[in-house]
Amino acid sequence: MTLTYDLYWSFRSPYSYMITPRLTALEAAYDVKGVIRPVYPLAVRTPEFFETRDPLWFSYFLTDIHREAAFLGLPFGWPRPDPVYMDMATRTYPKDQPHIHRLTQLGVAAAERGAGLAYLTEVSRVIWGGDVENWHEGDHLDRAAERAGLDPVDLAAAVDGDAARLDAVVEANQVAQRQAGHYGVPMIAFNGEPFFGQDRFDQFKWRLEQRGLTPRGR
């Protein structure tokens, strides 16, 4: 029997980027499938979250993301541009954002076409891999969609023609995420249990094994 889990995931989260290769490998090797549920990052949902952080929170975060990427053997660099725009004069996140809403809606549309995890994996590699500047321009995202097995024209048309519905799906994902036990990303929910953070992947797999995880082809 195929085991299923929910994945709550953000395009602005470096840790979300870091978990996708392991989830992709997991699904390729075992009879397990994720329900991909993109959400907006905290900077968009609750920007005041960052206003109350101790300064050490951010300095540790910067140290940890580079260390963790190196530990996992993943290419890494802060996106250029950042998927979430900050007004540097006021150090605030404007409500009108040029990238993150459309990116997240594209993720939902990809999930609805059965290629959600592949799309998140390919696009996050473009954004967070450190070797693509201006990922939002040219054909970078279109080529990522193609590598995920999707038609970029169809994907763009889905967002252009149905953005309000896709945004409602994102909002519903965010409600479901909290109900599942946490607000951060990446978060996996499996069998009523939340696993917050890419560093909970091993525990998640351990729990899958307890519930009868089997290799594909067996």
Torsion-angle region of 114 (φ positive above 0: left; ψ -120 to 50: alpha; else: beta): left
pLDDT recorded at residue 93: 73
Q: For the chain, give the mean pLDDT.
A: 94
pLDDT in tens, 19-70: 999 999 999 999 999 999 999 998 888 766 667 778 898 899 999 999 999 9
Residue 90: predicted pLDDT: 67
Name the H helices within the chain.
14-29, 42-45, 48-51, 55-72, 100-112, 116-128, 140-147, 152-180, 201-210
* pLDDT value, residue 50: 67
Between 52 and 8, where is the model more confident?
8
CA-CA distance, 189 to 4, in Å (whole number)?
9
Domains of the chain in start order, with CATH, are 3-210 (3.40.30.10)
147 CB-contact burial (10 Å; exposed 0-12 / middle 13-18 / buried 19+): middle
Q: What is the mean pLDDT of residues 79-108?
A: 86
Q: Which amino acid, 189? A: A
Q: How many whole angstroms separate alpha carbon 135 and alpha carbon 83?
A: 10
For position 55, what pLDDT does the model report?
Answer: 84
Residue 5: phi, psi to the nearest 5? -140, 160
Mean pLDDT throughout 152-172?
97
Q: Would the pLDDT of 88 be above 70?
A: no
